[in-house]
Amino acid sequence: MADVAWLGTVLSVLLAIAVVGVVLTLVTDDREPSIVLAWLFLIVVVPVVGVVAYFFVGRNYRRVPRRRAPERASSPAPALAVPQGSAAPAALPAPLDTATRRRIEALGLREGGEGPVRADSLRIYFTGADKFRDLLADLRGAERYVHLMYLIWEQDELTAEVTAVLLERLGAGVEVNILYDWLSSMPYKKDELHRLAGAGATVVPCYRGVRQLNYRNHMKMAIVDGRVVYSGGMNLGQEYIDGGQRFATWRDTHFRMTGPVVASYLSLFASTWTQNGRTEDLYAGHLAPAGALRLRRSGRKRAAALPGAHRRHDRAAQAFGVGEHQIHRADRLLAGQVERGRQPERQHRAKL
């Protein structure tokens, strides 16, 4: 009995230490107050369940510790390369007043180490019919590679058409890389993704680990040959065109950009790719040759590239302007911190 009592005391002390540690972490973390209060309530009501749940799904493993923030802010930011076929970065258009421009520059430099980046063209979509019409046209014109990343990859009329185009491009020697959110896409069949993988595409489900259950990848992105990028709110599914069985129509926003800003999205895609266990470098090898690169860092041009610079990014904050249309937007992109250690080469494709 004495041993049991002693063991109970030890476990109680360990639980108390764990509860105190979790509470201190929550109150000092940079989170929404409602989320912090929800976790505190769970831990107070059912301490054992709350602590265990927090360690599995509540911790933010990608957050940069506060003690490292000054170091990151004072360290040199990596240069940003311009994809092949892009014009050199230029200052934002004149209609953007100086005060606003400085605030945007400060946001980008503080959060991602990069100032404003120009987009040569910007097209905004409010209907899936317009967006996917143009996306399919760009996919059919792909010559080097296609990178696709979606929260939800359904299996319907639209995905059948996308699959047919990608299979044709794979047959022509075009590289195809696909990231999709494993949990959010679980309800949908994977026949088409299996066909693409069998034809030579690399298909990777995002964040399948138990400790990553709350790391859902909500990004939607398509990059073609480093010259054009699509991003916004539309997933890959027919319902984004016709509303599906649930809605008469679907209203969402997406955009298509060309120019130097594409490199920012390429860096984000490559970082997410590496974070999900892949070792291929989808950044440096998908830009123009180093001798032809024209680089931008905080408004200054540099003469040489920094290979693999995207691995030092845990976030990207970009502001871009479109001279011709006089449209100014700010888009903040978040990416997880990439593992720095070299991972073993994988000879098999990831399970879908």
Helix, coil or strand: residue 273: helix
- Report d(CA 119, CA 292) in Å as an integer: 19
CA distances in angstroms from 278 to 205, 222, 249, 335, listed in the order given: 11, 18, 38, 15
Question: What's the pLDDT at 317?
Answer: 34
Question: What's the pLDDT at 318?
Answer: 36
Helix, coil or strand: residue 306: coil
Residue located via tokens 């359904």: 154
| 153, two tokens | 């990859």
Using pLDDT thresholds of 50, 70 and 90, give the confidence band for residue 158: very high
Average pLDDT rounded to a whole number, residues 24-33: 68
Of 32-36, 137-141, 205-209, which range is least confident?
Answer: 32-36
pTM, entire model: 0.62
- Report d(CA 266, CA 22) in Å as an integer: 36
Mean pLDDT of the chain: 73
Q: Is residue 168's pLDDT more than 50?
A: yes
Higher-confidence position of 93 and 352? 352
Using pLDDT thresholds of 50, 70 and 90, give the confidence band for residue 272: very high
Residue located via tokens 């984004």: 240
Nearest to 201 by CA among 352, 310, 342, 336: 352
Question: What's the pLDDT at 351?
Answer: 55
